[in-house]
Structure 1
Amino acid sequence: MYLLWPLLFLHVSAARLSSFDVRLKQPKQEGKVRLVGDLPSSGRVEVYHDGQWGTVCDDGWDLAEAQVVCRQLGFPGAKSFMPGGRYGEGSGSIWLDDMNCKGSESSLSECSFKGWGITDCSHKEDAGVVCETGTNTTSNRQFSVDNSLGLSEDLGLLFDSGSGCDFRIKVKDDSEESELTFCVHSMILMFYPELNITKDSRTLTMDVSQTCHPHVSAFLRYLYSRQIDVSITSAQCLHQLAFNFGVKKLMEDVGRAFTLLLPEDNTFHTQVSMFEYGLRTGDLVLQENVLQYLSWNFEFLISSPVWSTISFHMMDALLRRSDLVVKDEAFLLEALERWIQDKGDEISSDQQASLLNHIRYLLIPVDKLYEMQFSSSVLHRNHEKLYLTGLLRGFQFNALPFSKIRKQMYNTSSEYLPRIYTGDEWSVIFNATTVKYPRYAYRNGYTVGYNYNRGYGQNNRIQTFSTPAHPSALYREQKVFWQAQVFLSSQECSNYGISCYSFPVARFLASGNQNMYTSTIRYSNRLILTCKNENNIFHVQDFKNDMAVIPNNSSMGLPNPCPDDYSFRFVVRPEYI
């Protein structure tokens, strides 16, 4: 059995662990849905979690999600899905965001989503559905009676009593100094094929670290009731037990608790260990959460001692991502070259070529493409053909209109999609009270840091600057002007004729001739929140209708480790359409 304790918490302070306790008790109505509207078959979707009803954001909301909701409520299916606001605004928590259902799930909470309460939405985006009602209105109509809510509690009591148990589970550790025995019901274990229980089986022996012995009983009870209390001190043991038993849903739910530790280790040892553990256990949710954090903090990862030790699998996964926060693509290529050089013979020639194919040469500035021709790096010499092919495609991308090369791009669409490039040419940064740049400054020939008004307060949270319309050489001399603002109160919002309901809130407006490019270029801009003293990016979000409402700590994917001392970076991300 893999021991998670030394992997995950060696680099996290004991003080942090002792003060951290997550209770994930599942209420009896957990995951139920309801519709709020004038008709029983249509309305705003609400879901029950953690003892209260909350809404669902319409990001990613489609007919597949609507089908799941309607069938969960007992309707034949869904007629249509409704965007936010059609059935009014809800209140309380927004429980689900970025939903991704296959359409075959039995409940909405079985679909893929960010995590309970993790959202950047407002209640203006509360999703709704219209369900099919069927045509049977005769006396033969059937009504659903569902008394299953008490089943979980009853099965939990059955485990507690041991009444009628017919199967013994022996739990021991490698030293065999400690052994536990539990009497359970083989019928329950039949639901878990990983155990290979047959009708003739009577015992099962499990090798479990003695450290995890206190949590085995709670885990076995979960197999009956599907309810469990999870704290950070029990999470690693429960996750490993869930892996051994093949209980994927519990493994993913517990894995989300691990992500709360991600900002705690600036050396990145913990994050790298968590990813490798996620690979071994096949926990895709844990892998994704770690990769997202490392993508946001990629430049800090590069400068850390752990950089040269990360595996090929992690590097491959990172280079595939578009949410990588990095100065520019050329900087990323240089970092990859150094990493491969440090690895030496550990990385085969085929693996090197595979990683190089993830570099987006099309988005490397044309002047740096020119300089790369004369590079003397070992990687360049070993893979000259790959480099030359990438350079050629990069020059073509800069020299030809996108309409000319669009058809060839569809098969390799990620090649021309930007990552989150934070070079001075494409971003501006300031904190809640002080602008980083002077009131008048020039950068690469473009004006930045100009405030329209004198004085302090809100004026220190407004900047205008300009960027090229697109990184391509065809558009570099064509400017788009931007205004970045951060509002801290409703009065500040009112001064600009807008309504704000939570704070802080950021606005990122384009002005000038950007409408000239609407048929060719779209701007998928990002807001980045960074701890100023710790160099820790803990939140990245997009802008909706030029606005970005900063979530509170409970609705962020990661906890805010510096609630009073973080900076705002506005990033322009042009991409061809």
Structure 2
Amino acid sequence: MIPHSSIFTLWLLLSLPNSGCARVFNLFGLNVGDAGPTHSLDHSADLSDHLGKLFDSGEGCDLLLLVSSEPAEEGADVTVCAHRAILSQFPRFNASQTSTSISVDVGRSCQQHFIPFIRYIYTRKVDVTSSSVQCFHSMASAFEVKQLIEDTGRLFHKILAEDASFHSQLSLFEYAVETGDPLLQNDCLQYLAWNFQNLTASLAWPNVSAEVLRALLSRSDLVLPDEYALLQSVEGWITQRAKMISLESQVELLSHVRFPMISPEKLYELENSSALYNTHKNMYRDNMLKAFKFNVLLLNKLVPNPRFDKQSIDYQPRIYMVEPWGADIDPSKPAPAPYIPQHYTSYNRRHQYNGYHRLEQPTVTPRYTPLTESFRTPVHNSLIFKDKTVAWEANVLKKQEECLSTGVRCDSLPLLKLSSPHQSSYDYVRFGNRLVQMCQGKYVSMVHDFVNDVVELAADGTQAAAYPCPEDKYTYRLVVRPEFSWSSRL
């Protein structure tokens, strides 16, 4: 045993900066009393796997989760043995020290996902599909597992585009209504509106609820061939569900069709082509008369009639893809090569220096021309503009030199510009044009508004999408949307 006096002496020697012992420690680069540099030892990457094995084995579990759902089904209940210390991170489990078991109510369709959900709490890992994302979001919300709520919420946009059957989109909308989530409701309706044509061709179309259809028909961002195609789809839906929907509800749904946006030729044929004309003759006749008047009179002639509200959405177009209102464009195509004049002989100058001649040529500035697509549309779908057209030019601007050549100020590149030198020549019409971005021609992933005639494109020539596309393979369609202007002249 070392005497206390010797320990004190050793401490004193070490504490003196000029002592022999201190010099010996310093020879090895050690500063007595200093812990030295910190070395981080991080093995947390293995923690998830270890906790996953702990959950799978059930070793040491001390809390029984009794999972049930309504309606009850014999033999369908699930029992999970978990660890109180793990679940206590989330108070909504009520994993108190005195309880040995807790009851958990989970919807029947989500029971199969409950065990992977509890395993996620251990490992922070889980595989989610389009059919299971709603269940994981629901269970995460019920137990306030915040990270899983956020991650599954971000997945909704991607998963909405993955299900071509539209069952997931409709199910998610019902879920958003049940949980009172207005953002998710709008996301679902927006996808259904942008892909309305695909929805009407899917097996899920007959099962769309009247509430969903009514919400869609009230929107101006429906992407479809034309308004007549919408009328046919609504009539088909009503015909398939005729025994389940009252005549009053049928009329109410049909009244959301914008008859003034249907061409006069199609209106004229409705009496014979419509499957529901004879059933709702008065409604059809009233709307057809309204549409015919709209086609032959400017709105200022209709305003004195109290039945015509110039602010009504009946006079506003949706996003019609059919010709002549739409034209395809490919922003990824290369622009024409810069034009460089080849002959400047008339401008060459010879200068004599000490008997030698030197040939000089002026500086040549290349002329840059952007990728350009041109097409024409009617001024408006109304008959009074039947013989008048507007020439449109779409420019894909990728260089500042191309912006200068077209007279556009480009704060960012690339840009897509859609303009007409004559679009301001019609006092009664303004244009709310759109760029429809499609994923490989399969579904609409984004609809862009033209602001001051331009849309900003991403650096790779594509554009950010609300509903992502695999490998970012997009196609684009320009859509011209003429509307009657509510200027003082009307």
TM-score under structure 1 length normalisation: 0.55
Which of 406-415 and 319-328 deviates more?
A: 406-415
Amino acid at match of 2:465: M
User: 5 Å matches for 1:48-447?
Assistant: 172-173=67-68, 175-179=76-80, 205-208=103-106, 209=111, 211-215=113-117, 232=128, 235-241=133-139, 244=142, 254-372=152-270, 374-406=271-303, 408=306, 409-410=308-309, 413-432=312-331
Between the two proteins, the alignment pairs up a number of residues equal to: 368
Residues 338-396 of structure 1, C-alpha deviations (whole Å, 9 max, x = no match): 22223342333222112101100121112222222x22533111111110111011112
Matched, 1:558 2:453: no
Partners of 1:336 and 1:298 in 2: CA distance: 11
Local SS of the residue matching 1:240: helix
Amino acid at match of 2:213: M
Tell me the CA shift for residue 403 of structure 1: 1.9
Instruction: Summarize the Cα distance change of 1:406–1:548 in structure 2 as closer, same or farther, 3 Å threshold.
Output: farther
Tell me the CA shift for residue 230 of structure 1: 9.2
- In structure 2, the residue matched to 1:472 is 382
Instruction: Summarize the Cα distance change of 1:330–1:554 in structure 2 as closer, same or farther, 3 Å threshold.
Output: closer
Amino acid at match of 2:67: K
Local SS of the residue matching 2:312: helix
Local SS of the residue matching 1:271: helix
Partners of 1:335 and 1:554 in 2: CA distance: 31
Matched, 1:540 2:447: yes
Partners of 2:416 and 2:454 within 8 A in 1: yes
Matched, 1:485 2:395: yes
Partners of 1:171 and 1:492 in 2: CA distance: 68
Partners of 2:64 and 2:79 within 8 A in 1: no
Local SS of the residue matching 1:375: helix
Partners of 2:254 and 2:451 in 1: CA distance: 34
Matched, 1:531 2:429: no
User: Match for 1:571 among 440, 454, 479?
Assistant: 479
Amino acid at match of 1:383: H
Instruction: Summarize the Cα distance change of 1:394–1:499 in structure 2 as closer, same or farther, 3 Å threshold.
Output: same
Partners of 1:272 and 1:310 within 8 A in 2: yes
Instruction: Summarize the Cα distance change of 1:258–1:572 in structure 2 as closer, same or farther, 3 Å threshold.
Output: same
Partners of 2:369 and 2:405 within 8 A in 1: no
Partners of 1:246 and 1:403 in 2: CA distance: 57
Partners of 1:490 and 1:501 within 8 A in 2: no
Instruction: Summarize the Cα distance change of 1:257–1:526 in structure 2 as closer, same or farther, 3 Å threshold.
Output: same
Partners of 1:268 and 1:303 in 2: CA distance: 10
Instruction: Summarize the Cα distance change of 1:206–1:337 in structure 2 as closer, same or farther, 3 Å threshold.
Output: same
Tell me the CA shift for residue 523 of structure 1: 1.0
| Percent of residue pairs identical | 35
Tell me the CA shift for residue 239 of structure 1: 1.9
Residues 48-74 of structure 1, C-alpha deviations (whole Å, 9 max, x = no match): xxxxxxxxxxxxxxxxxxxxxxxxxxx
Partners of 2:117 and 2:126 within 8 A in 1: no
Please tell me whether Structure 1 or Structure 2 has the larger radius of gyration of its CA atoms.
2
Partners of 2:116 and 2:126 within 8 A in 1: no
Residues 75-115 of structure 1, C-alpha deviations (whole Å, 9 max, x = no match): xxxxxxxxxxxxxxxxxxxxxxxxxxxxxxxxxxxxxxxxx
- In structure 2, the residue matched to 1:522 is 430
RMSD: 3.9
Tell me the CA shift for residue 547 of structure 1: 0.6
Partners of 1:172 and 1:180 within 8 A in 2: no
Instruction: Summarize the Cα distance change of 1:504–1:262 in structure 2 as closer, same or farther, 3 Å threshold.
Output: farther
Instruction: Summarize the Cα distance change of 1:554–1:543 in structure 2 as closer, same or farther, 3 Å threshold.
Output: closer
Tell me the CA shift for residue 269 of structure 1: 3.3
Partners of 2:65 and 2:79 within 8 A in 1: no
Instruction: Summarize the Cα distance change of 1:563–1:212 in structure 2 as closer, same or farther, 3 Å threshold.
Output: same
Amino acid at match of 1:531: C
Instruction: Summarize the Cα distance change of 1:491–1:376 in structure 2 as closer, same or farther, 3 Å threshold.
Output: closer
Residues 28-55 of structure 1, C-alpha deviations (whole Å, 9 max, x = no match): xxxxxxxxxxxxxxxxxxxxxxxxxxxx
User: Match for 2:408 among 490, 498, 515?
Assistant: 498
Instruction: Summarize the Cα distance change of 1:249–1:280 in structure 2 as closer, same or farther, 3 Å threshold.
Output: farther
Partners of 1:476 and 1:277 in 2: CA distance: 47
Residues 541-577 of structure 1, C-alpha deviations (whole Å, 9 max, x = no match): 011111101247895322133524x322111111122
Instruction: Summarize the Cα distance change of 1:359–1:251 in structure 2 as closer, same or farther, 3 Å threshold.
Output: farther
Partners of 2:299 and 2:481 in 1: CA distance: 17
Amino acid at match of 2:239: Q
Residues 257-302 of structure 1, C-alpha deviations (whole Å, 9 max, x = no match): 2111222233333323333333343333222212211211222222
Partners of 1:252 and 1:362 in 2: CA distance: 44
Instruction: Summarize the Cα distance change of 1:390–1:250 in structure 2 as closer, same or farther, 3 Å threshold.
Output: farther
Partners of 1:262 and 1:290 within 8 A in 2: yes
In structure 2, stretches of 5+ residues that fail to align are 1-62, 70-75, 335-367
Tell me the CA shift for residue 413 of structure 1: 2.0
Partners of 2:315 and 2:193 in 1: CA distance: 18
Local SS of the residue matching 2:294: helix
Partners of 2:396 and 2:417 within 8 A in 1: yes
Local SS of the residue matching 1:178: strand
Instruction: Summarize the Cα distance change of 1:243–1:555 in structure 2 as closer, same or farther, 3 Å threshold.
Output: same
Instruction: Summarize the Cα distance change of 1:506–1:341 in structure 2 as closer, same or farther, 3 Å threshold.
Output: same
- In structure 1, the residue matched to 2:417 is 507
Partners of 1:554 and 1:363 in 2: CA distance: 30
Partners of 2:66 and 2:78 within 8 A in 1: no
In structure 1, stretches of 5+ residues that fail to align are 1-167, 196-200, 221-227, 436-456
Local SS of the residue matching 1:300: helix
